[in-house]
């Protein structure tokens, strides 16, 4: 089985470094172009299924990519971005104190931290693990599955596959339109960043 996991295209919130979380922010023109580029790069695959987050930026990205495949798009809220609570819609520099790093929230010691009154890293991890288990149980080895989601779930999936003990996988950024190619064979995951 192959999972092609894609981060949605750029939005104006991405451009201005605002925390989006569960906000329904559409793609901007650059984001639409990024989705078109992803569609071109994925034409080599015989995609059999498409899943996407319930948030508009992921749905728009999935619809643009799907113009090459014409498959049903299944919305799955387990793929939604992390709920950042009272941090949503704020710029990162409005949230952080001088010297603080936004990426520290992804460290292992902060799995249950919730300074933003939203979703914890552990809660996001549970959603992502549930989704991966469901995919394995409900799809054939020959399936090629497109998953359109957000940086948070992609970081978490990458971290789960690579090993959470190495926090670099949780903290390293994922760009708009980036693709993770995940292969599941012989009960093991392998991942390649494209």
Q: What is the pLDDT of residue 182?
A: 96
Number of domains comprising the chain: 1
Using CA atoms, how far apart are residues 152 and 125, in angstroms rounded to an integer? 10
First to last CA, the chain: 17
pLDDT at 72 over 80: yes
**Catalytic residue among 8, 49, 116, 150, which?**
8
Average pLDDT over residues 61-86: 96
Average pLDDT over residues 15-43: 97
3-state secondary structure of 115: coil
Q: What is the pLDDT of residue 43?
A: 94
pLDDT at 165 over 60: no
**Catalytic residue among 10, 81, 88, 119, which?**
81
Average pLDDT over residues 31-52: 97
Average pLDDT over residues 41-53: 97
Is 10 among the residues known to form the active site? no
Question: Mean pLDDT, the chain, as a whole number?
Answer: 90
Q: What is the CATH number of the domain that holds 158?
A: 3.40.50.1240
In this predicted model, which residue has the larger pLDDT, 1 or 187? 1
Reported pTM: 0.93
Give the range of the structural domain holding residue 188, as residue numbers without chain letter.
2-193
Using CA atoms, how far apart are residues 33 and 74, in angstroms rounded to an integer? 22
Residues 6+ apart with CB under 8 A from 27: 8, 9, 10, 11, 35, 57, 60, 61
**Contact (CB, 8 A) for 53 and 75:** yes
In this predicted model, which residue has the larger pLDDT, 121 or 32? 32
- Cα dihedral across residues 162, 166, 170, 175: positive or negative: negative
Q: What is the pLDDT of residue 100?
A: 64
Is 81 among the residues known to form the active site? yes
């Amino acid at each position: 089985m192959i999972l092609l996991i894609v981060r949605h295209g750029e939005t104006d919130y991405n451009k201005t470094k605002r925390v989006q979380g569960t906000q329904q922010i559409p793609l901007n023109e650059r984001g639409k172009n990024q989705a078109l580029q992803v569609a071109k790069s994925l034409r080599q695959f015989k995609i059999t299924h498409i899943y996407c987050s319930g948030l508009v930026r992921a749905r728009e990205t999935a619809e643009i990519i799907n113009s090459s495949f014409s498959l049903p798009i299944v919305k799955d809220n387990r793929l939604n971005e992390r709920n950042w609570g009272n941090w949503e819609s704020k710029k990162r520099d409005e949230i952080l104190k001088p010297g603080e790093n936004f990426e520290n929230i992804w460290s292992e010691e902060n799995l249950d931290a919730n300074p933003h009154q939203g979703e914890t890293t552990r809660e996001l991890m549970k959603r992502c693990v549930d989704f991966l288990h469901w995919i394995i149980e409900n799809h054939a080895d020959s399936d090629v599955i497109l998953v359109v989601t957000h940086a948070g779930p992609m970081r978490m999936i990458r971290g789960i596959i690579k090993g959470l003990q190495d926090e670099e996988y949780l903290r390293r950024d994922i760009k708009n339109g980036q693709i993770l190619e995940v292969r599941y064979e012989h009960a093991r995951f392998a991942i390649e960043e494209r």
